[in-house]
Amino acid sequence: MDNLSDTLKKLKITAVDKTEDSLEGCLDCLLQALAQNNMETSEKIQASGILQLFASLLTPQSSCKAKVANIIAEVAKNEFMRIPCVDAGLISPLVQLLNSKDQEVLLQTGRALGNICYDSHEGRSAVDQAGGAQIVIDHLRSLCSITDPANEKLLTVFCGMLMNYSNENDSLQAQLINMGVIPTLVKLLGIHCQNAALTEMCLVAFGNLAELESSKEQFASTNIAEELVKLFKKQIEHDKREMIFEVLAPLAENDAIKLQLVEAGLVECLLEIVQQKVDSDKEDDITELKTGSDLMVLLLLGDESMQKLFEGGKGGVFQRVLSWIPSNNHQLQLAGALAIANFARNDGNCIHMVDNGIVEKLMDLLDRHVEDGNVTVQHAALSALRNLAIPVINKAKMLSAGVTEAVLKFLKSEMPPVQFKLLGTLRMLIDAQAEAAEQLGKNVKLVERLVEWCEAKDHAGVMGESNRLLSALIRHSKSKDVIKTIVQSGGIKHLVTMATSEHVIMQNEALVALALIAALELGTAEKDLESAKLVQILHRLLADERSAPEIKYNSMVLICALMGSECLHKEVQDLAFLDVVSKLRSHENKSVAQQASLTEQRLTVES
């Protein structure tokens, strides 16, 4: 190290004189010292103030520029040296050297800039201002097709430099995307797929860039899907496959790329992985099984890719996924149920699946998860049943298959996601099914649970779905018994609150249910309607200019129905409804205007 101090002193003199032989000797000495103890040597270099002199040794004319760039690359491996390198004014001359034709100069300059940018805002900023990224991308483009080892090493360094430059920095990543880096990297991957280091660097770059929404369109216009699938098929090592998965997952969020991946044969690879790993208890295999089956489900989220794999319900992929549901592996059960939920996104698919026995498979799966079951599997299976229940023709078939009974077993669940899907499934099943609605509406346990969930303020979804199911039981059954059950369970106040929801559809459902209550069982419900301040709420809805026409219409229908109750009638008179209603006679919506005339007559007669 004493020797190092002498070298640094000597270097200060020779750097100014530019005595070439002794300069080269000093630089070799520094590189040797850095190789032995990088950190300590770097500290001494910083303390000596020599960094400032390096800028003058980085000129295109300098014969030792490659060695100086190499030294900078070595010292910049230390975090504490990156800002001093920027402050010493080294970035601009280094970026100038990127215009060199000498391969060794380019290699060491790329390393130096890459290391200075690593995790350093100041480094990136300086390279950005000096315009370094564009020059590097131009090099990648022009050198892309040359496959000799020295060139591949340079390409790897340049990719690494761009990575360090833009890592976790959205604006710099967007800049690279605008400079057209994506097609260039995809081309690199295709040409150099035999070179492990370069391939790995491309994958890491893709992984970073793919997180950015703006990158997806550019990726979709390349043959990235084909290249990644080709690469994936060759990989045996878990870590390498994992790297490719990390690129595939964000890319597969884009519908166009989903379809390209399906066409490139990714699904077959994923099915093979599932088959190979399903019985293994090795941690890597379990991870790969999960990643592979999750990705499979993601591919089914695209309408085109999903339909292509469904193949009218005859597709091999669909059949394989179907076989996951009865499996003993929770991950596969989950992926199978989620895949069915994704296939069940149009009426044709839903009808085909119900006719071919999928409901029984899902009910069997749910049955296996009633006691201490897996919540994610419960949630997925209920999601699939909910989607399958959407086509009108499926409802009666699913009801007679016993789906309501299977679903009601989860009424005691304390998990909001399961509660939410359970409610949605029941609501879909009873839509326009009077008998089923009546049967469920008279189920005291269910109605009491709904009333309890209507107060689940921490879970807006569960609260909203409980209200909607409560209303649906009345609207579809039109049954006095159902209304009595709901009144006795304390559900009326929730329907009144639902009429003030921010969602018009929910307001409307509540008003229709309340109008049926008033028409069929006003005597039973009047006390609850009064204490829930229904009349005041209706007055507010009619007076509010922002209320939708159907809300105004149904509020007036309800007012008329409430006139049969003495106490509610009195409230209507006290609130001067006539003023509000008479204004609505000139409403632009004909139905509202007509109903306003009828309501005005009714109010006048009754007053």
**pLDDT band of 18, cuts 50, 70, 90:** low
Look up residue 219 and give its two tokens.
């990726």
How high is the pLDDT of residue 518? 95
pLDDT at 402: 96
Domains of the chain, residue spans: 1-130, 141-264, 439-522, 533-606
Using the structure block, give the residue that is written with the tokens 């599997």.
377
**Span 382-414, pLDDT tens digits:** 999 999 999 999 999 999 999 999 999 999 999
Of the ranges 86-95, 287-296, 369-378, the best mean pLDDT one: 86-95
The separation between the first and the last C-alpha atoms of the chain, rounded to the nearest angstrom, is 106
Q: Select, from the ranges 206-215, 248-257, 474-483, the one with the highest average predicted confidence (pLDDT).
A: 474-483
Dihedral sign of CA atoms 107, 108, 114, 117 in order: negative
Which ranges of 144-279 does DSSP label H, i.e. alpha helix?
149-166, 170-178, 181-191, 196-210, 213-220, 224-234, 238-251, 255-263, 266-277
d(CA 177, CA 222): 13
CATH number for the domain whose boundaries are 1-130: 1.25.10.10
| pLDDT over 90 percentage in the chain | 80
For residues 455 and 464, what is the distance between their CA atoms, to the nearest angstrom? 10
**The two structure tokens encoding residue 367:** 């049955």
Tokens of 182: 């994506």
Cα dist from 189 to 36, 150, 201, 443, whole Å = 36, 17, 9, 62
H or E segment at 598?
helix 590-606
With bands split at pLDDT 50, 70 and 90, how would you rate the model's confidence at 17? low
pLDDT at 187 exceeding the cut of 70: yes
The pLDDT assigned to 22 comes to: 75
141-264 has the same fold as 1-130: yes
Mean pLDDT of 73-78: 96
* Average per-residue pLDDT for the chain: 92
Please say whether the beta carbons of 486 and 441 come within 8 A.
yes
More confident residue, 165 or 14: 165
Query: H/E element holding 47?
Result: helix 38-48
**What number is the average pLDDT over the span 46-53?**
89
Burial 363-392 (b: 16+ CB within 10 A, else e): bebbeebeeebeebbbbbbbbbbbbbbbbe
Provide mean pLDDT across the span 348-357.
95
* pLDDT at residue 97, rounded to an integer: 96
pLDDT exceeds cutoff 60 at 1 = no
**pLDDT (tens digit per residue) in 496-530:** 999 999 999 999 999 999 999 999 999 999 999 99
Largest CA distance in the chain: 114
Does the pLDDT at position 481 exceed 90? yes
Residue 2 has pLDDT above 60, yes or no: no
The predicted-structure confidence for 532-568, as pLDDT tens digits, reads as follows 999 999 999 999 989 999 999 999 999 999 999 999 9
Q: Residue 20: its pLDDT value, please?
A: 66
Q: Which CATH number fits domain 141-264: 1.25.10.10, 1.20.1630.10, 2.60.260.20, 1.10.10.10?
A: 1.25.10.10
Q: Is the pLDDT of residue 36 over 90?
A: yes
pLDDT score of 67 more than 80: yes
Instruction: Provide the whole-model pTM.
Output: 0.82
pLDDT confidence of residue 21: 67
Q: What is the mean pLDDT of residues 112-139?
A: 96
From CA 134, how far away is CA 125, in angstroms rounded? 14
Q: SS3 string of 466-518?
A: HHHHHHHHHHHHCCHHHHHHHHHCCCHHHHHHHCCCCCHHHHHHHHHHHHHHH
